[in-house]
Amino acid sequence: MRIAVWHNLPSGGGKRALYDHVSGLVARGHHIESWCPPTADQEFLPIGDLVLEHIVPLDTFDPLDTIGRLSWRGVVARLSGGGMLIPASLKAMDRHSQGCAQEMDHGRFDVVLAGSSQLVAVTGLARYVRGPALLYLQEPYRPLYEAMPRLPWPALDGPEGFQLSAVRDRLQDAIWVRGLRIQARQELAGVRAYDRVLTNSYFSRESMLRAYGIDAAVCYLGVDTERYKNMGLARKRLVVGIGAFVLQKQVEVVIEAVAQVSSPRPALAWIGNWKDPHYLRQLVELAERRGVAFTPYVGITHQEVVRVLNEAAVMAYAPRLEPFGYAPLEAAACGLPVVAQAEGGVRETVIDGETGLLVGNHSELHLALERILNDEVLARRMGAAARRRAESTWTLSAATDRLESHLVDLVEGKRGSEGADLEQ
């Protein structure tokens, strides 16, 4: 097949998913070209290393318009009064989408495979391409629909009397809400224009059903089980976590849990590809107060990541409503059991009592960690089961199979419908 890819992704799990998808499809002989705006991350797993990538300008775009809009990285700033994606930037993105669609149509591609955008979860690309279009969407733009830490739709109490500051606040809120409504409306129109929408978990599927009213199909991702593997190293009394150093990963919850584990208290290593410096300082201070030996690793190599996963005894995982989460699968591939809060996509990747332990709330995390840390037989049994499941279900080859079947079905279905139209 000739496949046109579009994305506007920062570094992180979404970019890795797209990189693995493109890599797997190229290995199977499909011709792929990619389109993206300059705002897409070009350093982390560059798609341009795999295929020809067209970087299409995003005219009139001003980064200051999007302060606090870069997914979870800027949520706190935005909800505390940070920037808003103004209508001018939405229009610029729409013009960018039209330009990409024209180039894709000129190239006579069989299908368009679109990824997410860090500015708006879904752009209007599918409204402009002529052929079939498939969207792989990790999650809706969560700050529009979830309290992170509060919903973005302001509701001020009426002032007791005339207050100039209250009038100003109401005017600011009115402008802010108008921008949010335009973004939500365009996002909804964009997602409904696709012929098929895929997502990473049943949890994400339900999130899209609530946000957009659409029936997305679950197309599970995978991990490289050749790179993530059990190296047979001696396991230490060490808890490990993986995730960016941002509020949504709730690293402080894990620090508190480790602090409650009975003596000898384990050390905690945390691996992240990105950090909020202020949040990281708070974590270091919390660990010192709670007496936890805390080692943060920022931007370390893949080899170092695998080494730490092979030295740890258990992974702790407690992000807020993570839609899928690569970390538990990376741990599983390395033969490491996972202790996790039972919410979001982790309920589909960790089998409670078999490959790890799922707990109902944060207050139970330390008990589950303690159970695995104090029972080497249980830890080895769960780690071995996790590796077997990674090899049987979560390989990159299996993930490519799942995506490829959707693409083929969509293209063949489109051709079949065009043939029926010609017969009529």
Per-residue pLDDT reduced to its tens digit, 192-227: 999 999 999 999 999 999 999 999 999 999 999 999
Average pLDDT of 262-272? 96
Are residues 297 and 185 located together in one domain of the fold? no
Are residues 405 and 387 located together in one domain of the fold? no
Q: What pLDDT score does 178 carry?
A: 81
Are residues 164 and 191 located together in one domain of the fold? yes
Q: What pLDDT score does 64 carry?
A: 41
Span of 77-91, 144-158, 318-332, 398-412 with lowest mean pLDDT: 77-91
The verdict on residue 228 lying in a domain is: no
Average pLDDT of 59-88? 46
**Average pLDDT value for the chain:** 89
Residue 86 φ/ψ region, left for φ over 0, alpha for ψ in the -120 to 50 degree band, beta for the rest:
beta
Does residue 59 carry a pLDDT above 90? no
Are residues 137 and 187 located together in one domain of the fold? yes
pLDDT digit string, tens, across residues 364-376: 999 999 999 999 9
The verdict on residue 34 lying in a domain is: yes
Does residue 62 carry a pLDDT above 80? no
The verdict on residue 276 lying in a domain is: yes
Are residues 181 and 271 located together in one domain of the fold? no
Are residues 366 and 406 located together in one domain of the fold? no
Does residue 420 carry a pLDDT above 70? no
pLDDT digit string, tens, across residues 373-391: 999 999 999 999 999 999 9
The verdict on residue 230 lying in a domain is: no
Q: What pLDDT score does 7 carry?
A: 96
Does residue 155 carry a pLDDT above 80? no
Does residue 144 carry a pLDDT above 70? yes
Does residue 349 carry a pLDDT above 80? yes
The verdict on residue 388 lying in a domain is: yes
The verdict on residue 229 lying in a domain is: no
pLDDT digit string, tens, across residues 166-197: 677 777 777 778 888 888 898 999 999 999 99
* Band of pLDDT at residue 419, cut at 50, 70 and 90: low
The CATH number of the domain holding residue 405 is 3.40.50.2000
Average pLDDT of 346-370? 97
Average pLDDT of 17-24? 97
pTM of the model: 0.88
Span of 62-71, 173-182, 294-303, 342-351 with lowest mean pLDDT: 62-71
**Domain encompassing residue 293:** 238-394
Are residues 218 and 289 located together in one domain of the fold? no
Are residues 160 and 216 located together in one domain of the fold? yes
The verdict on residue 43 lying in a domain is: yes
Span of 44-48, 177-181, 359-363 with lowest mean pLDDT: 177-181
Average pLDDT of 339-346? 96
* Band of pLDDT at residue 83, cut at 50, 70 and 90: very low
How many domains are contained in the chain? 2
The verdict on residue 15 lying in a domain is: yes
Are residues 71 and 108 located together in one domain of the fold? yes
Cα atoms in the Cβ-side hemisphere of radius 13 Å centred on 147: 3
Are residues 78 and 44 located together in one domain of the fold? yes
Are residues 19 and 166 located together in one domain of the fold? yes
Does residue 284 carry a pLDDT above 60? yes
